[in-house]
Amino acid sequence: MDTPAELANFLRTRRARLQPEDVGLVSYGGRRRVPGLRREELAQLAGVSVAYYTRLEQGQSSNASDGVLDAIARALRLTPDEHAHLRNLARPARPARRPAPRTVSAHPGTRQLVAAMAAVPALVLDPQYDVLAWNPLGHALIAGHLDVRAPERPAERPNTQRLLFLDPHARELYPEWETEARRAVSALRLTAGAHPDDRQLAELVGELTMKSSEFGALWSRHPVRGCTSGVKSFHHPLVGPLELSFQMMLLPDAGGQKLMAFSAEPGSPSDAALQLLASTVSTSLPGTGPTAPSATEASAPSTPSADRPGQDR
């Protein structure tokens, strides 16, 4: 990825969102050629020369000290995630090195742990957001229309970013799709800044930019935010609405792999729906997705449908 260009774009977007009055500067009126702070105003706030800041924003300075970057971060009022992203983009050029080998699979112990979490939807992601493993409930929650064994085949391995932007089922699964899209792009930006030499990650960004205008528009705004915990809303085709908390945990000594798990508030309607989804998983045939009545049929004394899941999603 073109790190100098990324740095320039990031700094420009952050200058554009601030007005002089937001940071205590006097605005003398008049029409501005660009939105937000001018370079000289930002340099004044950060206590650096305009020439130095201009070189930094143009990617011509590769030796900015932590003190200078901290001052610029304060002037731009960056969040902790944005501050870390700035350091990643502005750090001195590193010597070329052989790229890390692509992750083949999740560690057997991790797979065993995920499988044991029968009542909790869980999946293992690599740094490029490929699904390396999921338990039956995790599969049923986010991608029941796909083969449950897909993560075991690298060529067919699902990718959560690709699913969100390119799979039409995601539009129905996430009622707050725009929120999910912004969160996904923000997390991907943070990851890309930390791994600028990751070819697989760059190819994913390129593919999504070409195939999804919505991704391209969000990516151009340069949002940056970690995605380690929060709440996700679902409208599942089998059990209806769910509101689930999620936690994303970095696995130790696993090359950047992450464990993502979901849970519902005990006794809530989402908890009941999740238990219903779990019951459909337990009665499904091995190697197939879950089969269940729709949310409107769940209370009727009928036998669960035997249709393949996901066909009507």
| Domain shared by 117 and 206, yes or no | yes
Residue 130 belongs to some domain of the structure: yes
Question: In this structure, is residue 33 part of a structural domain?
Answer: yes
The distance from CA 62 to its chain's CA centroid, rounded to whole angstroms, is 28
Phi and psi angles of residue 175, each rounded to the nearest 5 degrees, phi first: -65, -25
Task: For residues 64 and 145, state if they share a domain.
Answer: no
Six-digit token string for 271: 């908890």
The reply to whether 197 falls in a domain is yes
Half-sphere exposure of 138 (CA within 13 A, CB side): 27
CATH number at residue 58: 1.10.260.40
pLDDT at 186 over 70: yes
Domain span at 64: 3-90
Give the torsion sign (CA, 182, 183, 185, 190).
positive
Q: Look at residue 29 in the predicted model and tell me its pLDDT.
A: 56
* Domain assignment present for 19: yes
pLDDT tens column, 86-108: 998 887 445 445 455 555 789 99
Please give the model's pTM, rounded to 2 decimal places.
Answer: 0.78
Helix (H, G, I), strand (E, B) or coil at 63: coil
Q: Does residue 79 sit in the same domain as residue 116?
A: no
From the CB of residue 206, how many other CB atoms can be counted at a distance below 10 Å? 11
Considering the domain boundaries, does residue 289 fall inside one?
no
pLDDT tens readout for residues 264-274: 999 999 999 99
Position 309: which residue type? P
Residue 10 has what DSSP assignment? H
Distance, CA of 152 to CA of 304 (rounded, Å): 28
